[in-house]
Amino acid sequence: MDVMWSPWRSQYIGTFKDEVEKSKEDCFICAAAQDLDNDKERLVVFRGKYSFALLNKYPYNNGHVMITPYRHIGDFELLNSDEMNEIMQIAQKVVSALKTIYNPHGFNIGANIGQSSGAGLPGHFHLHLVPRWSGDTSFMSTLADIKVVSISLDDTWNSLYGILNESK
């Protein structure tokens, strides 16, 4: 691949306004964080002190979980050490629970930070945890641009919530 350098574009890029910051009122993560009585409807599977885990309503794969701080912040570097530590501790718990429930062959764990990276909700940081199986990308996604998710969100929520909260 050839690279074309155009440093003069930095002046143009610098004029962009932060149009991606959504208000707390429009943030489905903030709504789930505050709605303590409706975890199942909000797809919340585990609550910690500083962060929580919820199922992705539009999963890339069965068992796709997002782990996020309660605070409405979009910048990774603004997470405090309590939030960062707890997010990773919850990620470990979720991986262990998903191994018990679905026995995946591996996991993708990552975050899309900023709209340009593909973040669907750039105003509220969240870590994606996606179970993977050998061959989980089939001819359906290759030929028809369709992803088959074979386990319902309701079944996944029941299983994960049960395991993650049994010792609480």
Tens digits of per-residue pLDDT, 117-147?
A: 777 788 899 999 999 988 777 555 655 566 6
pLDDT at 18: 47
Q: What are phi and psi of 43, to 5 degrees?
A: 70, 20
pLDDT at 19: 42
* Strand 51-55, strand 44-47: pairing: antiparallel
Instruction: Please name the helix (run of DSSP H) or strand (run of DSSP E) that holds residue 94, with its range, or none.
Output: helix 81-102
Instruction: Please name the helix (run of DSSP H) or strand (run of DSSP E) that holds residue 153, with its range, or none.
Output: helix 153-164
pLDDT at 16: 46
pLDDT at 163: 96
State the chain's maximal CA–CA distance in angstroms.
57
Tens-place pLDDT, residues 53-101: 999 998 888 999 999 999 999 999 999 999 999 999 999 999 999 999 9
pLDDT at 110: 94
From 72, 105, 124, 126, active-site residue? 126
Question: What order of strands is seen across the sheet that includes strand 65-69?
Answer: 44-47, 51-55, 65-69, 127-132, 106-110
Tens-place pLDDT, residues 101-118: 999 999 999 998 888 877
Active site residue 72: no
- Report helix, strand and coil shares of the chain as percent, to nearest 5: 40, 15, 45
Banded model confidence at residue 162, pLDDT cuts 50, 70, 90: very high
102 near 131, Cβ under 8 Å? yes
Average pLDDT on 142-161 reads: 80
CA distance 152 to 97: 17
pLDDT at 145: 64
8-17, 110-119, 145-154, 156-165: which has the minimum mean pLDDT? 8-17
pLDDT at 60: 85
The owner of tokens 């299983």 is: 159
- Looking at CATH, the fold of the domain delimited by 20-164 is given as HIT family, subunit A (3.30.428)
Whole-model pTM: value is: 0.81
124 near 73, Cβ under 8 Å? yes
